[in-house]
A and B are shown apart, each in its own frame.
Chain A
Amino acid sequence: MTAGSGWVEEALREHDHAQRPESPDRRTELPVTDREQQVLDRIDRARRRRPRVREERITMSHGAGGKATQTLIEAIFLDKFRNPLLEPLEDAAELRVLGGRLALTTDSYVVSPLFFPGGDIGDLAVNGTVNDLSVSGATPLYLTAGFILEEGFPVADLTRVTESMRDAAAAAGVCIVTGDTKVVQRGKADGCYVNTAGVGVIARDVSLGVARAGPGDAIIVSGPVGDHGITIMLARGELDIESDVRSDTAPLNGLIAGLLDAVPGVRAMRDATRGGVATILNEIARAADVGVLVREDDIPVRPEVRGACELLGIDPMYVACEGRLVAVVPGDRADDAVNALRAHPLGEQAAVIGKVVADQPGIVRLKTSFGGTRIVDLLVGDPLPRIC
């Protein structure tokens, strides 16, 4: 039950205040579009208000990567830990140490099932951390690996996960240098949870951050979206759906190096994971206070992913990836950026999906294949729990 219903009364008061008639029947005075705009403005103000967690207990939504996660992070973690290094809330923190720039990141992996087509929790752990560092403009160097193991978890499975991490680290060119192991009783940890931290060096002269996006910039995605989330959902076996879809988990440091070589003026990069591409577009719109306009026809999606999404009633834009990059680049460098991405095997289907605009700041709009327009907001609930 949501706590503190005082905000309902507050909202009602605000509504009545806005509706206060100068003349007896104000409702009929203003044209419909103006009244609607008033409501949209009021909603915009409400959305910009300081976030507060209204629930008394954590729910699965808080882990979905959407609205609830964002509110939790801002209202509790950012609020308590507040400091300038944390504020940007990018995929990695940028630190200045001894005259050099470092990127530091951490991630936890609770994916279920542990093994799925295209990889396992070990691949996610290494690639996910490598990617968070790479999108910050860093060369990833060293990782930690912490394991929380459930009593009864097969050692053979642990070995398999560890071997995956070894191979993924080698492919990405990083070294796992320290770690930790804990065991919890049967019934907790669902087999195996993995936590990683990663550190890398920002040697390039880049200044990246979603707040830097500005009108005229192009938004690019490095390949088809939704592969990982759908793979996990089908791998759970609850839905009796067969498909050839595989997770797209991959280290993006090589791809990103190529992009930054060609276009050093990249404004921002993000790793599209939980919450999908839609979440990143909203992060851009919010952080830079700009409008974002994307075209449904331009967003690459594999036919099988599309089929599964239609079958389940899910929008591919919200489905997690684990090896896809979203980049914001100056509009006049968009072609160079796409070509640089396409030159790399992981970026073969890179495409411009939209642009940053000045109007309707904070809002992400989608031009549908049909030709109409709608908005793309952050999801509240979680269509696909525990996918990474």
Chain B
Amino acid sequence: MRFVDEFRDADKARALAAKIAALCAPGREYQLMEVCGGHTHTIYKHGLEDYLPEAITLVHGPGCPVCVIPMGRVDDAMHLASRPEVIMTSFGDMMRVPGSQGSFFDARAAGTDIRMVYSPLDSLKIARQNPDRHVVFMAIGFETTAPSTAMTMLRARAEGLPNFSVFGNHVTIIPAIKAILDSPDLRLDGFIGPGHVSTVIGCRPYEFIARDYGKPVVVAGFEPLDILQSIYMLMVQLSQGRSEVENQYSRVVPWDGNPVALKAIGETMELRPYFEWRGLGFISHSALRVRESFASMDAERLFAVPGVRVADPKACQCGEVLKGVLKPWECKVFGTACTPETPIGTCMVSPEGACAAYYNYGRMNRNRVAEATSSASVVRS
């Protein structure tokens, strides 16, 4: 497969691993955060950590848009779905997220009309086919996915579709990164920047990280070589004492982002003054809601939702995992009470959650491929 296979080449990986190991200063440890859940997923799926020396630790960040949805919002969604006239449509990732009364999956088993879609446009199709019902689309995702929701809303308006609305839970990445940077619990040396979010917002929004916090950022693609190359680029910056924003994913990410996408978001949505993030608490201007001008497509305006704040289960340590303070296996209930089958928190249930990635792919004894030595870099293959 083009643009995929060549970025999974093992020989190039070995070469990069040797370079990375050679850049590690003796006795020094490096903590690099990959913000995006998709990167966490790739790292574990391809066993990328095998190529990193012990000196480099990858810290998993909060870039999992499903993981950060608080239980109260899941309950609100379930409330909407349980209305007899509503057909709730959702991406597959949401199906198992636990609310206080169970998940979409449980609700569907009990008879609620919840349907999985691959694209928000599929919701429009269902709305057209069911004129006597009202279709609500559970809109989740970072800036990557918001344009698709926006275009869907614009299309619905153009068609004059009367029975479609959006339950908006889009979140924005920059406030989350800032919350991480301001957190006293972490000592990070650099960031593997989100790849697909950047196709929409471009690379400029990350400049404050390099300028004000002195940490290098490399926007990375999603194939394992992309991530490994990005780690290499971060290590080069660190070894040279630089902190800049670089774009490893230049084949896909334009430095200025996608103006058409940003315009679509701007037309249909606006920033909420604040939004609650699971584990990170309330963050101002960190999420999107439907604009007044599209009120007829805002599920929250059309239907009353309880809007109750629900505390996470006592045993749940998702918040600390999302911030990167705890590794998945350091969570008290990881793998015993909390498993993909019996999830307590969202990190275990989302395909991009760090706990899910570690449990499903990474839960094994690991033999590192590369070892950093002071004179030569040795790579075992």
Contacts and interface: CB of A to CB of B under 8 A. Distances in A.
**Do chains A and B stick together as partners?**
yes
Interface of A: 1-2, 7-8, 10-12, 14-16, 35-37, 39-40, 42-43, 46, 54-55, 57-61, 67-68, 71, 238-239, 303, 306-307, 310, 312-313, 360, 363, 365, 367-375, 377, 380-381
B360 A360 contact: no
Given A39-B329, A381-B95, A381-B96, A54 B342 contact: yes
A60 B46 contact: no
A10 B363 CA distance: 22
Interface residues on B, range: 35 or more
A2 B342 contact: yes
A373 B366 contact: yes
Contacts of A58: 109
B184 to A, nearest CB: 18
Given A36-B329, A371-B14, A307 B341 contact: no
Contact of B335 (A8, A43, A57): A43
Nearest to A306: B1
A43 B337 CA distance: 9
A44 to B, nearest CB: 9
Interface stretch (B79-87, B100-108, B149-157, B304-312): B100-108
Contacts of A35: 330
B353 interface: no
Contact of A372 (B47, B105, B360): B47
Nearest to B11: A371
B121 to A, nearest CB: 10
B361 interface: yes
Given A7-B337, A369-B5, A381-B95, 19 more contacts: A1-B102, A8-B333, A8-B344, A11-B333, A40-B335, A40-B364, A57-B106, A59-B105, A59-B109, A61-B105, A238-B118, A303-B1, A368-B224, A371-B10, A371-B51, A372-B47, A374-B362, A375-B363, A381-B340
B335 A46 contact: yes
B187 interface: no
Given A36-B329, A43-B336, A313 B351 contact: yes
B13 interface: yes
Interface of B: 1, 4-5, 8-10, 13-14, 44-51, 95-96, 101-102, 105-106, 108-110, 118, 122, 224-225, 313, 315, 327, 329-330, 332-342, 344, 351, 359-367, 369, 381
Nearest to A239: B118
A67 B335 contact: no
29 contacts: A8-B344, A11-B315, A15-B332, A39-B335, A42-B335, A43-B363, A57-B106, A59-B108, A61-B105, A67-B341, A68-B341, A238-B118, A238-B122, A307-B1, A310-B1, A310-B4, A368-B45, A369-B10, A371-B10, A371-B51, A371-B369, A372-B224, A373-B364, A373-B367, A374-B46, A374-B362, A375-B363, A377-B359, A381-B340
B108 to A, nearest CB: 8
A57 B110 contact: yes
Contact of B109 (A60, A363, A369): A60
Contacts of B45: 368, 374
A57 B109 contact: yes
B105 A360 contact: no
A260 to B, nearest CB: 34
B333 A377 contact: no
A338 B205 CA distance: 56
B336 A42 contact: yes
A360 B105 CA distance: 33
A93 to B, nearest CB: 28
Contact of A40 (B105, B339, B363): B363
The 3 closest A-B pairs by CB, nearest first: A372-B47, A43-B335, A11-B337
Contacts of B122: 238
A369 B8 contact: yes
B10 A370 contact: yes
Contacts of B362: 374-375
B366 to A, nearest CB: 7
A8 B315 contact: yes
B337 A365 contact: no
A312 B330 CA distance: 31
A35 B330 CA distance: 9
A374 B224 CA distance: 13
Given A1-B101, A1-B106, A360-B364, A372 B335 contact: no
Nearest to A43: B335
Contacts of A55: 106
A383 to B, nearest CB: 8
Contacts of A310: 1, 4
Nearest to B362: A374
B353 to A, nearest CB: 13
A12 B332 contact: yes
Given A12-B315, A39-B334, A42-B336, A372 B48 contact: yes
A313 B363 CA distance: 21
A15 B333 contact: yes
A303 B332 CA distance: 42
A367 B336 CA distance: 26
Contacts of B363: 40, 43, 375, 377
Contacts of A306: 1
Contacts of B8: 368-370
Nearest to B10: A371
A375 B364 contact: yes
A2 B344 CA distance: 10
Given A239-B118, A369-B10, A360 B365 contact: yes
Contact of A375 (B101, B110, B338, B360): B360
A360 B365 CA distance: 8
